[in-house]
């Protein structure tokens, strides 16, 4: 009887010792974990650091016109790529020759014939890229957007005289660093010089890049949604607020860390005797990389 009690006691002792040893080992291991990791795991509000994703990339083709009923005068291609921390902006002449199916014509004619969708396909075919979204913005939309941000600080290189009866804009601009309001911005974008049209296209791309830079510098958590809602209301296209909301974390991350590079990409080529712009095909591979 005593032997049975002794055996039972011995078994109970070793089981208790084993359990206590295990608890002690787990406790020691837990205490050895870095305190920052423990706090992160215990904090219900903890979120992992933002990591850019390829799915957040977005390319947009914008057609600009004076009025809804008038043909598109200019085109702008914008590519946002958070992975490479870059926004590329390129102006495209409306006179650029392009082919869609059996039709070869200018980009403006493509737009007039088949709408923004056909113009998008023409640009995709020319540069070998894929465009996600399209937009059309007229003079009134430009004025509203620019005035919403209090104008654009820009160093104007040339004197500009612009008179447009349909929109009622009559503006005279002198060279120099100045704040351009909506009307002056519209005049600058619509103005087409007689001597160097390609330079003007590239200059407007630089202007657009600077405007994007200034917009990003002033957006915050408090005005992000209202800012992009305002932009959406002043254009026609297939972009929605979701396109901007899903990129919110990325834009804030890049802006706050000052990692976002915004580049105006120059387009090159020449005009033929028919007034059509023939793109320099030697630059197409580089442009395809920038806007892929």
Q: Tell me the two tokens of residue 113.
A: 């014939």
224 versus 78: the higher-pLDDT residue is 78
Give 56's DSSP letter: G
Confidence band of 58 (pLDDT split at 50, 70, 90): very high
Residue 12 has pLDDT above 60, yes or no: no
Sorted by sequence, the CB contacts under 8 Å of residue 252 that are 6+ apart come out as 221, 224
Give the integer Cα–Cα distance in Å for 115 and 236.
Answer: 12
Per-chain mean pLDDT for the chain: 82
Q: What percent of the chain has pLDDT over 70?
A: 82
**Residue 29 pLDDT:** 47
Task: State the average pLDDT over residues 265-278.
Answer: 93
* Whether 146 contacts 181, CB under 8 Å: yes
Residue 38 has pLDDT above 90, yes or no: no
**Residue 43 pLDDT:** 55
Residue 106 has pLDDT above 90, yes or no: yes
Q: Tell me the two tokens of residue 88.
A: 């590329």
Question: In this predicted model, what pLDDT tens digit does every residue of 154-207 receive, in sequence order?
Answer: 999 888 888 877 777 888 899 999 999 999 998 888 887 767 889 989 999 999
| Beta-bridge partners for 152 | 180
201 burial via Cβ count (<10 Å: 0-12, 13-18, 19+): buried
54-291 falls under which CATH superfamily?
LCP protein (3.40.630.190)
Task: State the average pLDDT over residues 282-291.
Answer: 86
Q: Tell me the two tokens of residue 65.
A: 């016109």
pTM of the model: 0.80
Give the integer Cα–Cα distance in Å for 165 and 31.
Answer: 77
Confidence band of 42 (pLDDT split at 50, 70, 90): low
Confidence band of 18 (pLDDT split at 50, 70, 90): very low
Helical pair 284-291 and 107-127, crossing angle rounded to 10 deg: 90
Place of tokens 């979701």: 242
**Residue 113 pLDDT:** 93
**Residue 126 pLDDT:** 94
195 burial via Cβ count (<10 Å: 0-12, 13-18, 19+): exposed
Q: Which of 216, 206, 208 is nearest to 264 (CA)?
A: 206
Q: Tell me the two tokens of residue 63.
A: 């057609």
Question: In this predicted model, what pLDDT tens digit does every residue of 141-153 receive, in sequence order?
Answer: 999 999 998 999 9
Q: Which of 135, 140, 189, 201 is nearest to 166 (CA)?
A: 140
Containing 92, the helix (H) or strand (E) segment is strand 86-93
Q: In what order do the strands lie in the sheet with 261-265?
A: 236-237, 133-138, 58-65, 74-81, 86-93, 261-265
């Amino acid at each position: 009887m005593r032997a049975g009690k002794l055996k039972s006691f011995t078994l109970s002792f070793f089981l208790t010792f084993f359990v206590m040893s295990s608890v002690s080992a787990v406790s020691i291991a837990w205490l050895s974990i870095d305190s920052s990791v423990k706090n992160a795991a215990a904090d219900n509000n903890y979120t992992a650091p933002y990591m850019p994703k390829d799915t957040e990339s977005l390319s947009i083709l914008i057609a600009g016109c004076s009025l809804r009923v008038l043909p598109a005068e200019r085109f702008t291609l914008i590519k946002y790529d958070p992975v490479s921390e870059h926004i590329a902006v390129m102006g495209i002449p409306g006179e650029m020759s392009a082919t869609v199916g059996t039709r070869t014509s200018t980009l403006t004619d493509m737009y007039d014939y088949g709408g923004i969708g056909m113009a998008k396909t023409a640009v995709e075919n020319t540069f070998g890229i894929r465009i996600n979204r399209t937009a059309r913005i007229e003079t009134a939309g430009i004025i509203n957007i620019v005035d919403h941000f209090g104008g654009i600080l820009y160093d104007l290189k040339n004197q500009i005289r612009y008179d447009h009866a349909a929109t009622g804009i009559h503006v005279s601009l002198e060279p120099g660093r100045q704040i351009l309001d909506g009307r002056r911005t519209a005049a600058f974008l619509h103005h087409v010089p007689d001597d160097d049209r390609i330079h003007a296209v590239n200059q407007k791309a630089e202007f657009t890049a600077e405007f994007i830079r200034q917009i990003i510098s002033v957006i915050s958590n408090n005005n992000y949604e209202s800012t992009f809602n305002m932009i959406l209301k002043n254009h026609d296209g297939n972009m929605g607020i979701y396109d901007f909301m899903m990129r919110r974390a990325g834009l804030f991350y890049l802006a706050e860390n000052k990692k976002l590079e915004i580049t105006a990409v120059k387009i090159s080529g020449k005009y033929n005797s028919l007034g059509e712009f023939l793109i320099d095909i030697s630059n197409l591979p580089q442009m395809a990389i920038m806007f892929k």
